Structure 1
Amino acid sequence: MTSSRTDGSRPLGIGEPASDEDLRVLRSQLGRPARGVLGIAARCVCGRPTVVVTAPRLPDGTPFPTFYYLTHPAATAAMSALEATQVMPELAALLEDPAVSSQYTAAHEQYLADRESVDVVPEIAGFSAGGMPSRVKCLHALAAHALAAGHGVNPIGDMALERSTWSPTRCQCVVDDAD
């Protein structure tokens, strides 16, 4: 199932189907089997998964609001390092700008629409990820959304990616063929 944006930009939704190799890589990236994988929304330049699309309700019935989940180890480490620099209050202050706030709210609404195009889960209705639309809570989630949606959709996710040491244009994968 795929959703389309009303502005005609590239389709989102579940992304590309996950192959057996993608699931093997995800297991290695996460250190456990990935749960509820619907697809791959963004990939490293080398082709490995970077952002996985996760079912709004996991196979065991647990509601899971994080539709776009950052899995790439170098990207997640970069977001953790950025959070450790106390940049989140600075990014949150940008929400006082009406233009940034409006774009962030639109990103929140699109996130919800993307997730609800797959399944509506009452327990998580209205909740997207990363603190949207009024806070900056988790740069991992915001970066994942920015990577899945494309530059210009989630302003805070875009800024987190721009300020981080990780880049989606350069492979930083550590390959473990023993998995």
Structure 2
Amino acid sequence: MITEASERDLEIMASQLGRTMRGVIGIGARCACGAPTVVVTSPRLPDGTPFPTFYYLTHPGATASASHLEADGTMAELQERLREPEVADAYAAAHAAYLADREAHGHVEEIAGISAGGMPTRVKCLHAVLAHALAAGPGVNPIGDLTLALGEWSPAVCVCAPGARGSAAGMPAP
């Protein structure tokens, strides 16, 4: 479920990424403390640029975890998992779900049929599939779920810097 992004959320994400966010629709997932973990971005940015990455990972701990898995060769292992018919079918369904989620916020012809992370046939970016898995919930993106399970970060345990924490109720701190 997408929640509204508050001014505090936007400040936290700017701190997380080192830049101001563009085209924010809302927050797709939060840390245990309530800080943003996944931002949901408009399929067309305010300047008119098509933006296929509907779910974008912002949390430094989650980003580092995905980066470590990419660096240690896990991405190739996950690519091999796509040889399993049930994993391949679930990954194709994740691609379709991603496209449907984005399309609900506007059709952009330039990115029609393009999701993220290499879906539906490749594992190209663990950050993107992890963001999708966190926003969509368990069981939607099998490669994103595996990325979460194999990584050293968990959304259930806050590792946010004190100034980047929200409240445990899922709303940003004042």
1:164 match: 151
- Alpha-carbon distance in 2 for matches of 1:45, 1:76: 16
Identify which of structures 1 and 2 has the higher relative contact order when contacts are C-alpha pairs closer than 8 Å and 6+ apart: 2
Q: What is the CA RMSD across the aligned residues, in angstroms?
A: 0.9
Matched residue, 1:67? 54
The whole-number CA distance in structure 2 between the counterparts of 1:117 and 1:176 is: 34
- Where does residue 25 of structure 1 map in the other structure? 12
Instruction: Report the equivalent of 1:46.
Output: 33
Q: Which runs of 5+ in 2 are unaligned?
A: 165-174
Unaligned runs of 5+ in 1: 1-11
How far apart are 1:175 and its partner, in Å? 2.8
Give a deviation string over 1:110-157, Cα, whole Å, max 9, x none.
000000000110000000000000000000000000000001110000
Structure 1 residue 89, shift from structure 2 partner: 1.1
Name the counterpart of 1:129.
Answer: 116
Secondary structure in 2 matching 1:69: strand
Q: 1:79 aligns to what?
A: 66
TM-score (ref. length: structure 1) = 0.90
Q: SS of the counterpart of 2:82?
A: helix
So what's the TM-score if we normalise by structure 2? 0.92
Tell me which stretches of 4 or more aligned residues in structure 1 moved more than 6 Å.
none
Give the Cα–Cα distance (whole angstroms) in 2 for the partners of residues 37 and 121 of structure 1: 16
% identity of equivalent residues: 63
Residues of 1 paired with 2:96 and 2:148: CA distance?
21
Instruction: Name the SS for the 2:40 alignment partner.
Output: strand
